[in-house]
Amino acid sequence: MSYVIELNKYPELNKRINTPFMQELIGGEGMPVNGNFMPHAIWNFVCSYRDIKRWVEFKMKPHRNWKVSQCKEYFGIKGSGQKLLSQFEAIKTEVDAILNSLPDK
């Protein structure tokens, strides 16, 4: 089943259309999670949100090889600290809106 998403309604995602995150979200592979399909992009999104929030609020890395620069490159965000988290949360708002608008199976 495929869905058409009008990116004009989502300016944060629209300006990041060429990022690895958006490319995986649009046409990437996925995995089963609790019996439902989950794209790898969404899995990475959920884990990265947790990691960036922890890094900004507590100055804590999730593991020794984690680098915020990898998150910045993957999601197309810039800055440091609270600015980085604010940009990520703006993307999260739009992703949540898209996921909530999808019909249930």
Q: Which residue has the higher pLDDT, 63 or 102?
A: 63
The answer for residues whose C-beta is within 8 angstroms of residue 72's C-beta and 6 or more apart is 78, 84
**Nearby residues of 57 by Cβ (< 8 Å), 6 or more positions away:** none
**Residue 66 near residue 51 (C-beta atoms within 8 A):** yes
Angle at 49 between CA 38 and CA 24, to 5 degrees: 40
CA-based angle 72:11:2, to the nearest 5? 90
**Predicted TM-score of the model (pTM):** 0.88
pLDDT tens digit sequence for 2-35:
567 788 899 999 999 999 999 998 887 889 999 9
